[in-house]
Amino acid sequence: MTPLKNKIIAYVKQRNPDQNEFLQAVEEVVTSVSRVLDRHPEYDDLKILERMIEPERVISFRVCWQDDKGEVQINRGYRVQMNSAIGPYKGGLRFHPSVNVSILKFLAFEQIFKNALTSLPMGGGKGGADFDPKGKSDAEIMRFCYAFMQELYRHIGDFTDVPAGDIGVGSREIGYLFGMYKKLKNEFTGIITGKGEHWGGSVIRPEATGYGLIYFACHMLEANGESLAGKKCLVSGAGNVAQFALEKIIEMGGIPISVSDSSGYLVDKDGIDTEKLDFIKKIKNKKRGRIEEYVDQYPDAEYHETDYNSNPLWNIKADCAFPCATQNEIKEKDAQNLVANGIQLLAEGANMPCTSEAIGVLQESKVLYAPGKCANAGGVAVSGLEMTQNRMGVYWNRDDVDEKLKHIMKNIHEVCLKAAEDYGVPGNYLEGANIFAFLKVAEAMKAQGMV
């Protein structure tokens, strides 16, 4: 490591002890951006990167709500407002027992770069609560969302901070959160994205992350004289991102052969077609069931329970991999298995699903690798388009939004490659994404002074 990189990483570790996810995200960016700082010492003089790493604001609050038995429950709510240099804070809300400050800071830090790549005026933020929606009734989830928004509403606004959904926060939760905000403020404004398309939302928002992921992967393949047609694809997860990634893979002529959830994974070597995907959506979206039910309908498929010591899903022979579940699901051994089985491309649908060691294995093996900050930016891009429609008071149709999404993903692909080329790492999407986004945000911070 260069002395400058060593200095910054030591500084961050000293200020953020035990925040492992956040430190992992920061170290990845510092590694890339040190190339920029070596060429542009003025950014180091102004401590732009150190300021970017420090959140502008971290809000923590108590959320008290009543369960169906009449008992009072207490959760912790958070909003990390990371950087607003190029626009209002933008990033999702996550309801999951694992939520803590480290995870939210990592997600908010990643969001700065992802949002900058979209070319839309959005800063970086993230929030949520250590609340688990699983096993809760609709009434309990509604009461929790109301209690959560009764605190959060003080800190957001359509030109200040615009949250969205994330893990555990889908259309149901967005509706309850927006309803309480509207009640508290007595106004109908676009303060949260992912709304229903009949009450302020945008078409294609549910599909956008999964669709954008596959659009980006197709550009990667095209740049190397390939296409997705006929390629076997591993997909992890079975939620929103995974479902629409599967849908777009099928449309593009690829052959998805896997999905997973927290209980296990299944492999259908005959391929998951449109009919089978509809069945997966029925299991997960309507029944809120487990993916193992798939084999009852399609007995030729194989289901395996989760093994927390290893992930055999990533030891299945395929051409492309799309991790769409959660952070750090692909470890060094998993990456080695993927490489040994001839994987050509890995694009991240989830946020930071590969460990640093896994990324090293993929890049050393010349696998086409795209980090989440560029590959899964389609979701926040369409959220940005929803914000624009709300401010203009218009609704765009499906074709309009899809064309804009395609254009944004193509542009992200191009700027990543150009930045990588300009800084001596041609074809490296990770370096290119970090460098382009850093330069954009750094210039805005430099122009605005010491704020």
List the chain domain ranges: 55-185, 208-375
Give the global pTM. Answer: 0.94
Please identify every residue annotated as catalytic.
Answer: 126
Structure tokens at 391: 């401010």
Local structure of 282: helix, strand or coil: helix
Domains 55-185 and 208-375 share a fold: yes
Q: Does domain 208-375 fall into CATH 3.40.50.1260?
A: no
Cα atoms in the Cβ-side hemisphere of radius 13 Å centred on 303: 16
Element (H, E) at 13: helix 3-15
| pLDDT tens by residue, the chain, 451 residues | 477 788 899 999 999 999 999 999 999 999 999 999 999 999 999 999 999 999 999 999 999 999 999 999 999 999 999 999 999 999 999 999 999 999 999 999 999 999 999 999 999 999 999 999 999 999 999 999 999 999 999 999 999 999 999 989 999 999 999 999 999 999 999 999 999 999 999 999 999 999 999 999 999 999 999 999 999 999 999 999 999 999 999 999 999 999 999 889 999 999 999 999 999 999 998 888 899 999 999 999 999 987 766 689 999 999 999 999 988 999 999 999 999 999 999 999 998 999 999 999 999 999 999 999 999 999 999 999 999 999 999 999 999 999 999 999 999 999 999 999 999 999 999 999 999 999 999 999 999 999 8
Which are the contacts of 213, defined by CB distance < 8 A and separation ≥ 6? 241, 245, 248, 322, 324, 347, 348, 349, 375, 376, 378
Q: Which CATH class is domain 55-185?
A: alpha beta
